[in-house]
Amino acid sequence: MGTEEHLMVPIKKLKAFSRKVFMHFGVNEQDAGVASDVLATADLRGIDSHGVARLITYHDMLELGRINPEPEITITRESASTATVDGDNGLGLVVGPKANAMAISKAREAGSGWVSVCNTNHFGAAGHYVLEALEHDMIGWAMTNSTKLVAPLWGAERMLGTNPIAIGFPGLEQPPIVIDMASCAAAYGKVEIAIRKQEQVPHGWIIDKDGHQTVDPQAMVDGGAILPLGSMRDQGGHKGYCLAVMVDVLSCVLSGANWGPFAPPFALRQEIPGRSVGRGIGHFFGAMRIDAFIDPDEFKRQIDEYIAVFRATKPEPGTDGPLIPGDPEREAEAERRENGVPVLLPVINDIRTVAEKTGLDPEF
Amino acid sequence: MGTEEHLMVPIKKLKAFSRKVFMHFGVNEQDAGVASDVLATADLRGIDSHGVARLITYHDMLELGRINPEPEITITRESASTATVDGDNGLGLVVGPKANAMAISKAREAGSGWVSVCNTNHFGAAGHYVLEALEHDMIGWAMTNSTKLVAPLWGAERMLGTNPIAIGFPGLEQPPIVIDMASCAAAYGKVEIAIRKQEQVPHGWIIDKDGHQTVDPQAMVDGGAILPLGSMRDQGGHKGYCLAVMVDVLSCVLSGANWGPFAPPFALRQEIPGRSVGRGIGHFFGAMRIDAFIDPDEFKRQIDEYIAVFRATKPEPGTDGPLIPGDPEREAEAERRENGVPVLLPVINDIRTVAEKTGLDPEF
């Protein structure tokens, strides 16, 4: 967040306003509550790009009728441990939690549950879903594709989304290990921030429209692309590309959604692909019951020990040593539950726009 | 392979010799056949570090009694779609295929199958296992931990293995998409090659024993470490670290194997950790029946289209454009089935040592 101008807002107020906005467009009360919960998880955990900052886009998509506020979510195929879900073009914030709950319910019966979802939209922060699984003593997985922003290694155009992978493992006394990572070298939000601050971005993040590496963030926005995790061939850019393909196939090809460059955008200013190869975007959820593999207490004790051992790693000079995946989000959550969420002024302005258009009062 | 001195050997001869060596130590004929098949997959597909080049290590471990040639492999816990397997300290090349077959068999009944394995040893190339699943119209997954070589981000010592992730998706007319990637910035084998050629390694691969980045490969060997995929914080090194942890927990904490720095080494010259937190190393296998999600022909047609679309990506200047994951291995296989496997002279010498010690004739 740094020194950028912001307003501190209690999470309850953000959540209440999102909920009212969803209900304004005909989302039922329960679904609107769930959707605003998913956004609130991101705002609390410091994943600012996936919280209330996106509310205006959800608003615009609902207003234009591009998202169905009352989806009839159906299972199109299933087995004891798997299902394919058609989200009926509902909010990803509604379809995602329901599909994730199906994975958890399958896991309860069959040991594990795996749900691939088509005909859905942006589902918020992937980490939210694995936290749900943790509540049930399960290992949770979540993936999704998204609008094209990332070039495959040796490509000079956007072909893949930032395609995140999330997975969580519960501890006993220690908090859980929660992994939630995009499969590209850097977040698009960081490129935008660099433009706003008139700064260069680090080497290895982006290419320009001709496929040349650059440190000028505007060159990425003007038809360039983000590089996959690992950046170039020598540093393992082929591996990040592989991960993005893995997420894409599990979320989209397996469910019948639009993969790769055909993912419909989640922003009005982005162009809609001229071709469609499926329905909506796709997600992939997994849940594995820990006691289907090992005594859960034994597992959690080992996770506690794992955390202790990795915290005790000899630190790289100039650092405090390795973090445990999930540390930054947990710290943000503790701080923000106490002091509120620092919402940047441009986001506050977006919220005011939404308030004006809907006639709803954000009460902050 | 480049211009290094080598001998061309037909794959059949390599396979026959490995098989005889395993049987020499009491591995039964069928298991020895499977184990030599796994090695041959790596040799054929150009994953030279995981094929016959490792035979001398398997030999040494068997000779010293550090691997059990006649393991009684048991399921210690299971559900409809999951199992935990104790490999009884057998060859990973024997335990791995059996555990992978269990995942495939569970998937046949329950839609998906997930098997975590403890008390096992080096299982060859992860890609081998996903190719097996593809034969059954399933999506295959394979992961394993390995001896510590990799530092977590902001760490200055080896704490994790190269922890690979493999996954495969079948095509219809097109060959499958096969991903098989370590979760670190570069392979240890490439660091060794740089030493042999007296060359520097690219920036972002390694640190020295004090945790400082270096391009001197000897500094990594002398108590340094490999960096995770993504290298440093700015380029996403935390993400590679997360992936390595994910593989480690699924393969080891979930099965009761030795995780992180406690993984027993697979080489006589490497130190044995002073502490053990489980049994052997660990693997994790998954199989998902495609028809448990979607019509398999529809899936495969989309994979064909996926491959066509990604091959048509606008290329980065100076390249031929993106590859499809699995391309290099397929090309190597076609070439090597035809012309034999180029085995480096040091590996030939190792094979001669094994031949001498066992009294077996490699017949090449």
> How confident is the model over A10-41, as pLDDT tens digits?
999 999 999 999 999 999 999 999 999 999 99
Distance from C-alpha of B184 to C-alpha of B230, rounded to nearest angstrom: 8
Q: What is the pLDDT of residues B350-363, one digit of tens each?
A: 999 999 999 999 99
B96 at the A interface (CB within 8 A)?
A: no
Predicted confidence at residue B270, as pLDDT, reads: 80
pLDDT band at A3 (very low <50, low <70, confident <90, very high): low
User: Is residue A268 pLDDT above 80, yes or no?
Assistant: no
Predicted confidence at residue B358, as pLDDT, reads: 98
Fold observed for domain B7-70+341-364: Hypothetical Oxidoreductase Yiak; Chain: A, domain 1 (1.10.1530)
pLDDT band at B4 (very low <50, low <70, confident <90, very high): confident
A284 at the B interface (CB within 8 A)?
A: no
User: Is residue B2 pLDDT above 60, yes or no?
Assistant: no
B292/A78 Cβ within 8 A: yes
Fold observed for domain A186-226: Wheat Germ Agglutinin (Isolectin 2); domain 1 (3.30.60)
What's the rounded mean pLDDT across residues B57-70? 96
Question: If you measure CA to CA, which chain A residue comes closest to B319?
Answer: A154
CA A308 from centre of chain: 28
A317/B259 Cβ within 8 A: no
Comma-separated ranges of CATH 1.10.1530.10 domains in chain B: 7-70+341-364
A259/B234 Cβ within 8 A: no
What's the rounded mean pLDDT across residues A167-188? 97
Pick from A340-349, B2-11, B307-316: least confident: B2-11
ipTM score over 0.90, yes or no: yes
A152/B310 Cβ within 8 A: yes
Contact between A153 and A238 (Cβ < 8 Å): yes
Predicted confidence at residue A157, as pLDDT, reads: 98
pLDDT band at B269 (very low <50, low <70, confident <90, very high): confident
Selected residue of B75, B76, B79, B190 to mutate for chain A interface (largest A Cβ count, 10 A): B79
> Which residues in chain B have their CB less than 8 angstroms from residue A109's CB?
80
Which region, left, alpha or beta, applies to residue A256 given φ > 0 means left and ψ of -120 to 50 means alpha?
A: left
User: Is residue B1 pLDDT above 50, yes or no?
Assistant: no
> Which residues in chain A have their CB less than 8 angstroms from residue B325's CB?
238, 241-242, 245
Tell me the two tokens of residue B261. 């720095």
B309 at the A interface (CB within 8 A)?
A: yes
User: Is residue B187 pLDDT above 60, yes or no?
Assistant: yes
Distance from C-alpha of A104 to C-alpha of B32, rounded to nearest angstrom: 40
pLDDT band at B189 (very low <50, low <70, confident <90, very high): confident
CA distance A225 to chain B (A): 11
pLDDT band at B3 (very low <50, low <70, confident <90, very high): low
A84/B255 Cβ within 8 A: no
* pTM greater than the 0.90 cutoff: yes
A204/B245 Cβ within 8 A: no
A322/B241 Cβ within 8 A: yes
A240/B229 Cβ within 8 A: yes
Predicted confidence at residue A349, as pLDDT, reads: 96
A341 at the B interface (CB within 8 A)?
A: no
- Which of B186-190, B261-265, B272-276 is the most confident on average? B261-265
Among B161, B178, B250, B121, CA closest to A299: B250
Predicted confidence at residue A105, as pLDDT, reads: 98
Q: What is the pLDDT of residues A283-315, one digit of tens each?
A: 999 999 999 999 999 999 999 999 999 999 999
pLDDT band at A189 (very low <50, low <70, confident <90, very high): confident
Of B156, B236, B313, the CB nearest to A316: B156
Domain A74-182+239-312 has CATH 3.40.50.300: no
A322/B254 Cβ within 8 A: no
- Amino acid A63 reads E
Residue A190, SS3 per DSSP: helix
B163 at the A interface (CB within 8 A)?
A: no
* Number of inter-chain CB pairs under 8 A, A vs B: 292
If you search the block for the tokens 């939630």, which residue do you land on? Answer: A180
Q: What is the pLDDT of residues B318-327, one digit of tens each?
A: 999 999 999 9
Share of chain B above pLDDT 70, in %: 99
Comma-separated ranges of CATH 3.30.60.50 domains in chain A: 186-226
B238 at the A interface (CB within 8 A)?
A: yes
pLDDT band at A1 (very low <50, low <70, confident <90, very high): very low
What's the rounded mean pLDDT across residues B51-69? 96
> Which residues in chain B have their CB less than 8 angstroms from residue A139's CB?
250, 254
Torsion angle of the four alpha carbons B323, B326, B331, B337, in this order, in degrees rounded to the nearest 10: 180
Distance from C-alpha of A158 to C-alpha of A150, rounded to nearest angstrom: 5
A277/B79 Cβ within 8 A: no
Comma-separated ranges of CATH 3.30.1370.60 domains in chain B: 74-182+239-312
Continuous segment of H or E residues that includes residue B357: helix B345-358
